[in-house]
Structure 1
Amino acid sequence: MTILRLAFLSILSSLLLLGGPVAGKPNGLTIKLIHRDSPASPLYNGNITFTERIQRLVNQSKARASYLYSLISANTEETNGSQSIHPNEVIRAPIAIQAMSTYMVRFGIGTFNATFPARPFKSYHLHMDTGSVLTWTQCQDCELPGNHCFPCNEPPFPNRISRTYRPLPCNMHPLCAPHQCVGDSCSYQEKYQDGGTTTGILAQETFTFLSSSGSPQTIPNIVFGCSFDSSEMEYGGDDNQVNGIFGLGWGIRSFVNQIGSLSHGTFSYCLKLNDGHALDTYLRFGADISQPAGSLQTAKLYQFKSSSPYYIDLLGISINGARLSINPALFILQFDGSAGCIIDSGSTFTTLIKPAYDVVIRTFLQYFSGLPNMTRSRLFEGFFELCYERSVPEGFRDLPGMTFHLRNADLQVRPEGTFFVKQLNSGGEIFCLAIVGDDHFTSLGAYQQTNQKFIYDIPRKQLQFAPEDCAQNA
């Protein structure tokens, strides 16, 4: 076998282990998004029942809402120019990393001396999170005496032997918070209300993505968090295989802002319907974002103080074309971070602030009370509040859709994104409203975003969207 062929096979083996393609345009980037229930996901469990899967997704959505609200309501801030950096981010409740997001990415980090068949980088699964700003991963320094690692089957990133790892010097980089240092290096820290903390070094490193042209695409000097100490953190247990967060939220540390020449401050996704098959899709940046077939609508994106989630102006909700009598004040963001509406692909199901949720439930109860051949079901009691059984399977036929009325735009959610339908062994079927209530705010989740192309334009503070068959988003 020739040296050239060995080199080719070495590159190929490295690419296959990355788990996701990247487009080859010089001013664009495409990363595979792996759904948490896809066979490609490290969280995939093919042995769980449908009921167990729904329970897991509902619990994930509720935990995600709690996590987002704790980020929003954190009152420790420090500003840096026109953008804000949190040197010590107070998070109000512990959160398992398993519940962090609906989608994840996998790519390479670092540069290592390696010969065939070893890889010149280490690849990791990270949760894709539009509600977080910093990309971070657990690093090998957590194994040093006195430090603590959170449970993860993937080995920590070996930062000490990467040839491209460069800690940011204290107080000498625009992405450092002033006087937030460990030794001579810029650092970050998150504190949980229950006493848990995680601390890390901010560093520059090379990220490697799989190119559709058949060769690796590297992006140097990405600032990321290298976590070296996690104490009393509930990160998902011994079977966890996700090593950190891929942050796409507001803020100068966000990945989308750091790759300005590739993204131009824009990213896009198109989430597939949950039809029982693999749900993987793609996250696109810059020139790799194609225009949808339908007409784009545009809504304003907002930031609350220095928090990282993306807010939108929700004005009201319609069901089957009829506007509901919901007090619009329920959707107005308050000074303490309550109310308001976030668009969040990290949550599986939409969470509605409770008074609005109650109106939606009453409206659907009235709608279905007049239809024959269906009975109220308690099969998913504790997960979803509104479920019905019918003896003859009809799928999504005759089920109503919803419209979320945004300022200057209407997001129409088809029945396939409003309900889930499951056939029963008896020959009938059950369908449930795939929305849950929340005490604090509203979050538009991934299930209700399916078959829509969303384009986030950060410089213009705009969210654009249009209907799209996301199964064709290849």
Structure 2
Amino acid sequence: MQIRVQQSQARVQHFSDMLSSTFHPNGSEYSLQQDTIPVPAIKRIPTAFMLVEVGIGTFDNNAYKSYLLVMDTGSTLVWTQCEDCKVPPEGRCYPQKEDYFPSSKSKSYIPSKPQSFYNEIYGEGSYSYGLYSKETFTFPSTSLSSPPSKFPNIVFGCGTNNRNVWAKDNTFLIAGIFGMGVGKNSFVYQIKKQIGGRFSYCFVRDDVENPPPMYLRFGTNIKPPQNPKTLKFQKNAETYYAVNMIDIGVNGERLHLSKSQMFSPDSKVKGLIIDSGAEFTHMHKEAYDVVVSKMDKYFSEHKGEFTKENLGNGLFCYSRIKGEKYNNIPGVTFYFEGGVQLDIIPEGTFQRKIGPGTKEIFCLMFFPTQLKVNILGAFQQVNFKFIYNINDMTLQFGREDCAKNG
């Protein structure tokens, strides 16, 4: 199930302008020194999706074309829509702001021979079908002191039959997926030696005014958070970064859920998947029902302050007439083996909207899943620094004010 959150058109235009001009002078070949890799900027569109600006191809004057791809730790393949695409009814691709990638004009494009095709299907109904290829990928520099760096011969998908259910608000900024999951075709696995097997990010809360840039960091350009905690990824999770989850809590109180409540009996992943490519967190329905019941009890105990709202679309919402922002709003905790816990802050648990007059409405951004797996989405990852180590398959994380993580 895919839940979208509408935002103002003014903000839509702001993020549209963040994509730099179509063609760019390219940088030098990559170096094995990890700290020579530029730090790519992460950009938030008017949903909870996080995008990375990536340069693809080599054109006249050693230029490349820029695209915004969903930063996805929940899948492996990097793909973008290619020049053979047409929108319905003539074709089977979705509209996007930038021109489809002109693979035939790129000097560094290498199609697979013999031709080999991929077919990626995503849980919320999106998919991509096309040709496995190789291409030069470039990270634009975020500072004048470091030039862009390019990575040749990156395996990616040149999509010609694609469905996008992520952005239907006429922005069409998403040109594809930047797969960073577990597997040889994942971008981070392809540049594993150059980045020392490590990458990191820190998402800023969406209610921060004039938010600063966010960054995708590699290798030696990563500083650990204060009071870091470390978890091992499950070995049997295939393409996913999944950690062992043993319980869930609401407002600091453990719910003491059983395994049958937390996991579908036929689920392949008995854990919590850390997925930057999912907008919001999804839970096994039995666990979700217990969480909602506990939330209902919490709000009912504050009689006279909160009123339950029925906004439809399966949203769980309460309102109040006080402008206190997130004060007195509960959070959710995930408990893991070894006494480690992840305390989701109220700003990552509920989304706050201003209703008629002075009414403020809080909607729970957790949803029951039909995918038979538990997923920690991007909205719930705000104000935490996550460091992935694909050498020893560990996740290090810690609380951090990501607006100050410049």
Shared fold (TM-score, shorter chain, > 0.5): yes
Flag the 1:358–1:155 CA change in 2: closer, same or farther, 3 A. Answer: same
- Please tell me whether the aligned partners of residues 19 and 106 of structure 1 are also in contact (alpha carbons under 8 angstroms): no
For residue 365 of structure 1, report the CA deviation from its aligned partner. Answer: 1.6
Distance 2:364 2:41 in 1: 29
Flag the 1:168–1:394 CA change in 2: closer, same or farther, 3 A. Answer: same
1:455 counterpart (372, 387, 398): 387
Q: In the alignment, residue 410 of structure 1 is paired with which amino acid?
A: Q
For residue 455 of structure 1, report the CA deviation from its aligned partner. Answer: 0.7
- Please tell me whether the aligned partners of residues 393 and 423 of structure 1 are also in contact (alpha carbons under 8 angstroms): no
Distance 1:410 1:427 in 2: 36
Distance 1:398 1:289 in 2: 34
Is 1:315 the counterpart of 2:246 in the alignment?
yes
Query: Residue in 2 aligned with 1:108?
Result: 55
SS at match of 2:194: helix
Distance 2:171 2:49 in 1: 17
For residue 334 of structure 1, report the CA deviation from its aligned partner. Answer: 5.0
Is 1:289 the counterpart of 2:222 in the alignment?
yes
For residue 197 of structure 1, report the CA deviation from its aligned partner. Answer: 7.8
Which deviates further from its counterpart, 463-472 or 28-37? 28-37
Q: In the alignment, residue 104 of structure 1 is paired with which amino acid?
A: L
Query: Residue in 1 aligned with 2:72?
Result: 129
Query: Residue in 2 aligned with 1:157?
Result: 101
2:258 counterpart (308, 327, 346): 327
Distance 1:192 1:374 in 2: 40
Residues paired across the two proteins, number:
370
Query: Residue in 2 aligned with 1:32?
Result: 41
- Please tell me whether the aligned partners of residues 67 and 175 of structure 2 are also in contact (alpha carbons under 8 angstroms): yes
Query: Residue in 2 aligned with 1:370?
Result: 301
Flag the 1:264–1:375 CA change in 2: closer, same or farther, 3 A. Answer: same
For residue 444 of structure 1, report the CA deviation from its aligned partner. Answer: 1.1
SS at match of 2:260: helix
Query: Residue in 1 aligned with 2:359?
Result: 428
Distance 1:360 1:464 in 2: 26
CA-to-aligned-CA distance 1:394-441 (integer Å, 9 cap, x gap): 222222332210122111122222223334442232223322222433
- Please tell me whether the aligned partners of residues 127 and 164 of structure 2 are also in contact (alpha carbons under 8 angstroms): no
Distance 2:264 2:184 in 1: 23
For residue 249 of structure 1, report the CA deviation from its aligned partner. Answer: 0.6
Flag the 1:18–1:269 CA change in 2: closer, same or farther, 3 A. Answer: farther
Query: Residue in 1 aligned with 2:21?
Result: 17
SS at match of 1:373: coil
Distance 1:261 1:196 in 2: 32
Is 1:218 the counterpart of 2:150 in the alignment?
yes
Flag the 1:265–1:334 CA change in 2: closer, same or farther, 3 A. Answer: farther
For residue 134 of structure 1, report the CA deviation from its aligned partner. Answer: 1.0
Distance 1:203 1:304 in 2: 28
Q: In the alignment, residue 113 of structure 1 is paired with which amino acid?
A: D
1:405 counterpart (326, 332, 335): 335
Distance 2:368 2:264 in 1: 17
- Among all aligned residue pairs of Structure 1 and Structure 2, give the percentage whose two residues are the same amino acid: 37
For residue 295 of structure 1, report the CA deviation from its aligned partner. Answer: 1.2
- Please tell me whether the aligned partners of residues 285 and 369 of structure 2 are also in contact (alpha carbons under 8 angstroms): yes
Q: In the alignment, residue 33 of structure 2 is paired with which amino acid?
A: P
CA-to-aligned-CA distance 1:115-173 (integer Å, 9 cap, x gap): xxxx7111112121111111111222447xxx94513332222222211122344xxxx
- Please tell me whether the aligned partners of residues 265 and 458 of structure 1 are also in contact (alpha carbons under 8 angstroms): yes
Distance 2:278 2:164 in 1: 19
Query: Residue in 2 aligned with 1:54?
Result: none
Query: Residue in 1 aligned with 2:82?
Result: 139
For residue 448 of structure 1, report the CA deviation from its aligned partner. Answer: 1.6
- Please tell me whether the aligned partners of residues 23 and 64 of structure 2 are also in contact (alpha carbons under 8 angstroms): no
Distance 2:122 2:352 in 1: 38
1:358 counterpart (289, 294, 297): 289
Which deviates further from its counterpart, 196-205 or 453-462? 196-205
- Please tell me whether the aligned partners of residues 20 and 66 of structure 2 are also in contact (alpha carbons under 8 angstroms): no
SS at match of 1:330: helix
SS at match of 1:262: coil
Q: In the alignment, residue 285 of structure 1 is paired with which amino acid?
A: F
- Please tell me whether the aligned partners of residues 207 and 220 of structure 1 are also in contact (alpha carbons under 8 angstroms): yes
Distance 1:196 1:316 in 2: 31
1:204 counterpart (134, 137, 142): 134
Distance 2:23 2:399 in 1: 28
Q: In the alignment, residue 399 of structure 1 is paired with which amino acid?
A: I
- Please tell me whether the aligned partners of residues 23 and 66 of structure 2 are also in contact (alpha carbons under 8 angstroms): no
- Please tell me whether the aligned partners of residues 350 and 435 of structure 1 are also in contact (alpha carbons under 8 angstroms): yes
Alignment of structure 1 residues 231-380 onto 2, 5 Å = 233=163, 240-275=172-207, 277=209, 280-292=213-225, 294-302=226-234, 304=236, 306=238, 308-332=239-263, 336-337=267-268, 340-380=271-311
Structure 1: gaps of 5 or more residues: 1-14, 38-56, 58-100, 170-183
Flag the 1:364–1:188 CA change in 2: closer, same or farther, 3 A. Answer: closer
For residue 198 of structure 1, report the CA deviation from its aligned partner. Answer: 4.8
SS at match of 1:263: coil
Structure 2: gaps of 5 or more residues: 1-18
Distance 2:285 2:298 in 1: 20
Distance 2:277 2:127 in 1: 22
Q: In the alignment, residue 172 of structure 2 is paired with which amino acid?
A: N
- Please tell me whether the aligned partners of residues 300 and 407 of structure 1 are also in contact (alpha carbons under 8 angstroms): no
Distance 2:85 2:359 in 1: 53
Which deviates further from its counterpart, 396-405 or 329-338? 329-338
Flag the 1:148–1:374 CA change in 2: closer, same or farther, 3 A. Answer: same
Q: In the alignment, residue 394 of structure 2 is paired with which amino acid?
A: Q
Distance 1:252 1:379 in 2: 46
Q: In the alignment, residue 140 of structure 1 is paired with which amino acid?
A: E
Distance 2:31 2:350 in 1: 37
Which deviates further from its counterpart, 455-464 or 257-266? 257-266
The TM-score normalised by the length of structure 1 is 0.70
Q: In the alignment, residue 161 of structure 1 is paired with which amino acid?
A: K
